[in-house]
Amino acid sequence: MTYDVIVVGAGPAGSSAALMAARAGLSVVLLERGPYPGSKNVYGGVVYGRVLDDVLPGWWEEVPVQRWVTRRSTMVLTGTQALTVDFRSGAWGQAPYNGCTTLRSDFDGWLAGKAVEAGAQLVTSTVATGLIREAGRVVGVRTDRPDGDLRATVVIAADGVNSLLAKELGLLPKTDPKHLTLGVKEVLSLPKDVIDERFGVRGEEGVDVEILGCTRGIAGGGFVYTNRDTLSVGVVVSVDGLAKSEVRPEQLVADLKAHPAIAPWVQGAEVKEYSAHLIPEGGYDHLPQLHAPGFLLTGDAAGLCLAAGIWLEGVNFAIGSGLAAGRAAAAHVLGGAELSSYRKDLESSFVLQDHKRLRKAPALVLSDRVQQRYPQLIADLVEGLFTVTNPTAKPGAISLLRGAAKRNGVKLRHLAADGLAGGRTFR
């Protein structure tokens, strides 16, 4: 069979690419190795849908939402302490909304359905086992179906973080444990009214909690997201750090659930599903080459997850890059434009602008002091501020900071340097 475009992987990137290519009138096949879109996919929990406004107007009326995130908390945990910065917005609970929790088996299927409505052919339970190449150009894929070779003018690889197709072309290194993290998640069942009560929300309102300092010093963090009648709770840790720690991943999730600040939220909840997935967190400085003759790389396969501390976004970057890949493929097939227009398109959109601006964030966020020293330092400082020391007079804030820094092995010049680096990184 011959198509204009083969898209490998019906996740958010692949379905977005298929949608744009099909809308441009191209013949498109969308391959998915799982029995349904989303069946191989795991994420934390939140989709930020603004990227869909232009392509699927009013998407929020029909997206398979669990809850709309109206409350965001950032927590710093130590063994016995917790500091939370908590923000709520009424605006996020109304159209056009900001972010929603959704499950990937629902969301990915919904988005793939949009590609199918636009004319793409979705073929599930089919693995693209390799590329067909002729004269230095990708001209198709081999599949594990009988007589399964498919040919196309453009192959779009949206085959995820392990992209075997990009590795076959040498665009991705075979292994890269320093720039990958492992996400481990439990979905926990609780009645909706119990979740509403414990998290202080109502109706379709939901909460997004990001956590630093809960991973035994292994670079990473934790999360809690509210779904309708489940919670998604888990940790994300550096693959390299995890391997060296010899700590088992589910033990880190158990630690988080047992923390005095988290345990009351998850008390009595039953594990509904346990899951794990790799995340590409290298950022802009470790992006692969995004195109080759006849070939485009998009979504996680292209390393386009934004892991920048307070911003942890992936699905929106997958969609943004997938849409651009679909547009580039259409311009190539219909007008003979170079596939390199894909990179230029991404550079002019939020996808690479955000990544470029925050290129130093992954290293800073995962650095030793941020991970291993600052959570305790900050918690000690705040505990010092709020502990009433009568009859001794209150210590000054600077004195408390000096004491907390000293106890945690941090020199004030390091604090100043990291503060400056943070300022530059997030400017």
If binding is defined by CB under 8 A, does position 162 make contact with another protein?
yes
If binding is defined by CB under 8 A, does position 239 make contact with another protein?
yes
Report the residue number, 49 or 280, with the smaller CB distance to another protein: 280
At position 143, the amino acid (one-letter code) is T
The secondary structure of 290-309 as a DSSP string is -EETTEEE-GGGGT--EEET
Binds another protein (CB under 8 A): choice among 13, 30, 33, 138: 33
Residues in contact with another protein, counted by CB under 8 A, come to a total of: 59
d(CA 265, CA 257): 8
Reference 342, options 174, 64, 154; nearest CA is: 154
Per CB under 8 A, which region of 73-81, 247-255, 288-296, 394-402 contacts another protein?
Answer: 247-255
If binding is defined by CB under 8 A, does position 39 make contact with another protein?
yes
If binding is defined by CB under 8 A, does position 184 make contact with another protein?
yes
Reference 11, options 302, 282, 319; nearest CA is: 319
Reference 110, options 98, 122, 128, 95; nearest CA is: 122
Q: Which positions from 329 through 368 interact with another protein, judged by CB under 8 A?
A: none
CB atoms inside a 10 Å sphere around CB 28:
31
CB atoms inside a 10 Å sphere around CB 36:
15
**Do 126 and 148 meet the contact criterion of CB atoms below 8 Å apart?**
yes
HEC-encoded secondary structure of 402-425: HHHHHHCCCCHHHHHHHHHHHHHH
Q: Which positions from 43 through 62 interact with another protein, judged by CB under 8 A?
A: 43
If binding is defined by CB under 8 A, does position 310 make contact with another protein?
no
Which residue's entry shows tokens 């908590």?
86
Per CB under 8 A, which region of 40-48, 302-310, 341-349, 385-393 contacts another protein?
Answer: 40-48
If binding is defined by CB under 8 A, does position 242 make contact with another protein?
yes
Joined tokens for residue 130: 């390799």
Shortest distance, CB of residue 393 to another protein, whole angstroms?
44
Report the residue number, 58 or 260, with the smaller CB distance to another protein: 260
If binding is defined by CB under 8 A, does position 113 make contact with another protein?
no
Per CB under 8 A, which region of 53-61, 240-248, 332-340, 401-409 contacts another protein?
Answer: 240-248
Binds another protein (CB under 8 A): choice among 10, 14, 40, 418: 40
Q: What is the DSSP letter of 369?
A: I
Provide CB contacts within 8 A for 311, sequence distance 6+: 354, 358
If binding is defined by CB under 8 A, does position 249 make contact with another protein?
yes
If binding is defined by CB under 8 A, does position 121 make contact with another protein?
no
Per CB under 8 A, which region of 39-47, 77-85, 112-120, 289-297 contacts another protein?
Answer: 39-47
- Output the CA torsion 374→375→381→386 (10° steps): 170
d(CA 181, CA 219): 9
If binding is defined by CB under 8 A, does position 187 make contact with another protein?
yes
Report the residue number, 23 or 40, with the smaller CB distance to another protein: 40
The residues that touch another protein, with contacts defined as CB under 8 A, are 33-35, 38-43, 103-105, 124-127, 129, 143-145, 161-162, 164, 174-177, 180, 182, 184-185, 187, 227, 230, 232, 239-240, 242-251, 253-254, 257-258, 271-278
